[in-house]
Amino acid sequence: MCYDIKVLHETALKRARRKNDPELMSIIEKEIEGFDKLNFHHVSGYSHPKIPVYTSLNSTRPKLLDWGLIPFWIKDELSAKKIQNSTLNARAESLHEKPAFRKAAKNQHCLIFVDGFYEHHHYKGKTFPYFIQSNNPEPLCLAGIWDEWVNPETGEIYKGFSIVTTKGNALLKKIHNNPKLTEARMPLVLDAAEEEMWITADFDKNKLEDLITNQAPIQIKAHTVRKLRGKTALGNVKEVSDKYVYPELSSAPELDF
């Protein structure tokens, strides 16, 4: 699962800056104006924030898309709001079968660059949030899909995305142990080569299965942070991703990593 992320202005623009084109960067800054004033140290997908995303239409020029894909075939605004909360993530294993994702799965891919993501661990009836990030200073590149929906009442075009998820690796299997789920999940993290393949290629089911099966090990690390929800939550501040030790977890040897 991936419902909480950290994404800062500079991180989101990392891919665009690779072209070393000052004129292009000036255009991009204007197109995503406002995001630089709203760095997301922690943001929940359920608030449907606008995030800079690189789509298959232009893989080097990010656009602000809403987190929560609305399929093109949705008929009315009420239905759109209902489905938006259930499309924050899209399971890779069923991407080409689910009606909400089938069209986007073929060639409407996108890349989301984040500083990290948050996941909750369940222990003795309580939940403890972890921040997961790359082992090195580089951001994580998450695979996504996107779609456009035209509001029939207003004519407004809504562009939304979903983060593609896959089975959790060894680290996430220790952390993501929600008893309501049958397995640990995590976002599909792409390395540099997979990044280019995902954003440019048409992905049929076989190609997607091959990508998941033959992925190189993801080099990530994790630490506990303060509560992300409730009265004691810090909110969207820099310190939210800082390490915070819970004495209760000292008796959980499986979390010694």
The pLDDT assigned to 250 comes to 83
Cα–Cα distance measured from residue 137 to residue 14, given in angstroms and rounded to the nearest whole number:
12
Contact in structure between 68 and 45 (CB atoms under 8 Å): yes
Of 253, 230, 215, 228, the C-alpha closest to 244 is 228
The pLDDT assigned to 257 comes to 64
Cα–Cα distance measured from residue 67 to residue 63, given in angstroms and rounded to the nearest whole number:
12
| 138/254: higher pLDDT | 138
Phi, psi of 93, rounded to the nearest 5 degrees: -65, -25
The answer to which of 75-79, 131-135, 170-174, 203-207 has the lowest mean pLDDT is: 203-207
Q: Encoding tokens for residue 183? A: 């397995």
Q: Encoding tokens for residue 67? A: 């987190």
Cα–Cα distance measured from residue 197 to residue 184, given in angstroms and rounded to the nearest whole number:
26
Domain 4-255 in this protein, CATH class = alpha beta
Cα–Cα distance measured from residue 30 to residue 193, given in angstroms and rounded to the nearest whole number:
29
- Name 177's Cβ contacts closer than 8 Å, sequence gap at least 6: 121, 122, 184
Strands 157-167 and 89-91: parallel
> What value does the mean pLDDT of the chain take?
92
pLDDT value at 59 more than 70:
yes
CA atoms within 13 A on the CB side of 142: 36
Per-residue pLDDT reduced to its tens digit, 21-36: 999 899 998 888 877 6
pLDDT value at 233 more than 70:
yes
Please report where in the chains the tokens 């093109």 appear, as a residue: 72
Contact in structure between 70 and 88 (CB atoms under 8 Å): no
**Other CB atoms within 10 A of residue 140 CB:** 22
